Structure 1
Amino acid sequence: MAQLTLDNISKHYGDHAVVDEISLAIEKGQFVALLGPSGCGKTTTLRMIAGFEQLDTGRILLNDILLASPEHHTEPERRNMSMVFQSYALWPHKTVLDNAGYTLSLKGVRGQAYRDQVFAALETVNLGHLADRYPQALSGGQRQRAALARCLVSHPEVVLLDEPLANLDVHLRASMEATFRQFHDRTGATFIYVTHDQAEAMAMADRIAVMNHGRLEQWDTPENLYRRPASRWVATFIGKGSVLDVPSHVHGKHLRADDIGNLLSNAGAMHRGAMLVRPEDVTVVAEGARVTVRHRVYQGERYQYIADLADGQPLTFYHSRLLDHGQIVQVQIAHAWGLDL
């Protein structure tokens, strides 16, 4: 039985469905990402889970207990959830200790019991030595960890994170990804993480809900999203690759080199299907499909190329050697995944 259930939930602003009949079953202790482009409804979904937005349709249940429906709304403070905001939401006039212990102070915890519980949370995120500092004296990563400590001190069942790394630089974001994974492992709480950055989602989440225009496009593991996307849109949104139109209906099929060779040999035939080709599955060979190099990007350990197939469709691939613009080479595609046209 799922710990957290979203049952056909929707949210409208006027005639516009910001979230349109989303259903998810999230297991206890999972790290889940809500992933999609800006405006797809992922933050609104998170806010409905938190209790900051009311539902227009559907239900939200935690441990089979109804939290929200159009007729029922449990207040955010009674949901046993904690939320980490993109802005960190730290009180500037309170120390790290008192920011982290804010929820305990609301519950009337005082004295040594208060300090013991807050310091335990701060040590978990390696901030115990900064307990007496104020937020303005902290780095971005330290502020984010202070917000995490505030979550930890209340022992929530569900931790909600709304693009928490968006304000950090690239190197610090990589470090904080490791912090989030460690935080998740230590707490055993269910994490729901909103991001538009697929690299973040793929690196941290057990399962990912890919959203677009308020709808759920696919709910799956990172591996399945990358290798077996459910739609053409997911195929182009997740990772790099080429979607090639082909003459046969191949939806849902794992295609191998011989199948792909036969499909490409019928260039010019009416398109009845499409296939996703990841660049790492393309190899430059002595005999194969002829392509003409049109563009390259140097990536350090390799080059990324875009080349035209015989019918003009672009194919992305990697190669260790320098190829010239306009150069004709032959390639073999080892694997592809069949999509709807």
Structure 2
Amino acid sequence: MAQLVLDRIGKSFGTTQVVNAFSLEVPTGSFVALLGPSGCGKTTLLRMLAGFEQVDEGTIQVNGRQLAGNNLHVPPEQRNMSMVFQSYALWPHMNVMDNVGYALKLKGVKGEDYWQQVMQALETVNLSHLAERAPQDLSGGQRQRVALARCLVSHPDVVLLDEPLANLDQHLRASMEETFREFHRRTGATFVYVTHDQAEAMALADRIAVMNHGKLEQWDTPEQLYQYPQNTWVARFIGQGSILHVHRNTDNRLLSGPEVMQLLSSSLGSTRQAILVRPEHVRVVENGLEIQVLSRVFKGERYKYTARLSDGQELDFFHPERLELECKVCVQVQQAWVLMD
């Protein structure tokens, strides 16, 4: 049985429905990302999990215990969940140790037991040497680790993270991603991580729930999401790729190279169908489909190009060599995925 079960969750603010019939079963100990554009409802969903917002419809259960729904609302402090906020939410008048141990003090933990639990949590995030430091004297990454240690000390069943890397620079973000992975391995808790950054979600999560306008578009592993998106919206949102329209004459979802080349070179068939071509599946060859280069972006180890097909559609591809704009080259498409809208 899944540890965390959301069944047809709904939430509205006034006449605006923010979360709509959202259902999900999250396995115990997994790392889940709620991914979607700003305003899609992911933070509202996280706040309903935490108990900061009441659900209008549906139920929330953890380990078979109902937390919300059917006129029931268990308060946040009774859910055994911890939340890491984007703003860290550290007490400025407390040092690192007191911030981390605040929840223990509320439970009446004192003395040696208090000290050991707090120091163990700080050692987990490599901050035990800064136990006496004030939050304002820490870097952004260190403050984020203090917030993680505060989560760890209460031994939660579920850790909720609301865009925790949004305020960090790119170098710190990469470092903190590894901290989150290690933190998850050590705790064994279920993680629910809200982000609009697909690279973060892909790097961290076991499974990703892609949200759009309060609804669940697709629930899958990062690999499945990237390779086999359910529809055009997910295909545009996840990764890079070209969505082309062809006259389809096959029932296969995954098209081989020869099938794609035939569809792109032919006007046969009566059904107009969208297909997704990832740029890494396009190769420059001597003989193939002729395209005209429109734009070029240097990516370090390679260039990313956008080119025009003979029918006016545009195709993205990678190539290690510099090609001149407006030049014509031949390409071979190795595979494509048929999108079902």
In the other structure, the counterpart of 1:293 is 293
Look up the SS of the partner of 1:165 in the other structure: coil
TM-score (structure 1 length as normaliser): 0.98
Contact 2:247–2:269 (CA<8 Å) still a contact in 1? yes
Q: Deviations over 1:198-220 (max 9, x none)?
A: 00000000000000111100000
- Structure 2 gaps of 5+ residues are none
In the other structure, the counterpart of 1:339 is 339
Look up the SS of the partner of 1:148 in the other structure: helix
Q: Deviations over 1:229-255 (max 9, x none)?
A: 001000000000000011117677111
In 2, Cα distance between equivalents of 1:335 and 1:155: 47
Asked if 1:16 is matched to 2:16, the reply is yes
Superposed counterparts of 1:90-169, under 5 Å? 90-169=90-169
In 2, Cα distance between equivalents of 1:207 and 1:251: 28
Superposed counterparts of 1:166-177, under 5 Å? 166-177=166-177
Contact 1:277–1:335 (CA<8 Å) still a contact in 2? yes
Contact 1:249–1:340 (CA<8 Å) still a contact in 2? no
Output the amino acid matched with 1:152: L
In the other structure, the counterpart of 1:226 is 226
Cα gap change, 1:250/1:198 in structure 2, threshold over 3 Å: closer, same or farther?
A: farther
In 2, Cα distance between equivalents of 1:164 and 1:63: 26
In 1, Cα distance between equivalents of 2:163 and 2:152: 18
Look up the SS of the partner of 1:104 in the other structure: helix
In 1, Cα distance between equivalents of 2:123 and 2:164: 20
Contact 1:19–1:44 (CA<8 Å) still a contact in 2? yes
Cα gap change, 1:79/1:215 in structure 2, threshold over 3 Å: closer, same or farther?
A: same
Output the amino acid matched with 1:171: H
Cα gap change, 1:252/1:58 in structure 2, threshold over 3 Å: closer, same or farther?
A: farther
In the other structure, the counterpart of 1:262 is 262
In 2, Cα distance between equivalents of 1:308 and 1:180: 42
Aligned length: 341
In 2, Cα distance between equivalents of 1:265 and 1:12: 48
In 1, Cα distance between equivalents of 2:327 and 2:32: 44
In 1, Cα distance between equivalents of 2:329 and 2:339: 27
Q: Deviations over 1:55-94 (max 9, x none)?
A: 1100000011110004100010100100000000000000
Query: What stretches of structure 1 move > 2 A for 4+ residues in a row?
Result: 249-252, 267-271
In 2, Cα distance between equivalents of 1:251 and 1:19: 34
In the other structure, the counterpart of 1:71 is 71
Between 228-237 and 264-273, report the one with greater CA deviation. Answer: 264-273
Superposed counterparts of 1:211-250, under 5 Å? 211-248=211-248
Contact 1:250–1:339 (CA<8 Å) still a contact in 2? no
Contact 1:245–1:271 (CA<8 Å) still a contact in 2? no
In the other structure, the counterpart of 1:178 is 178
In 2, Cα distance between equivalents of 1:129 and 1:291: 60
In 1, Cα distance between equivalents of 2:167 and 2:261: 46
Q: Deviations over 1:96-154 (max 9, x none)?
A: 00000010000011111111100000000000000000000000000000000000000
RMSD: 1.2
Look up the SS of the partner of 2:73 in the other structure: coil
Give the superposition deviation at 1:335. Answer: 1.0
Look up the SS of the partner of 2:98 in the other structure: helix
Look up the SS of the partner of 1:247 in the other structure: strand
- Structure 1 gaps of 5+ residues are none
In the other structure, the counterpart of 1:60 is 60
Contact 2:248–2:269 (CA<8 Å) still a contact in 1? no
Cα gap change, 1:252/1:74 in structure 2, threshold over 3 Å: closer, same or farther?
A: farther
In the other structure, the counterpart of 2:202 is 202
Contact 1:250–1:338 (CA<8 Å) still a contact in 2? no
Give the superposition deviation at 1:340. Answer: 2.8
Look up the SS of the partner of 1:53 in the other structure: coil
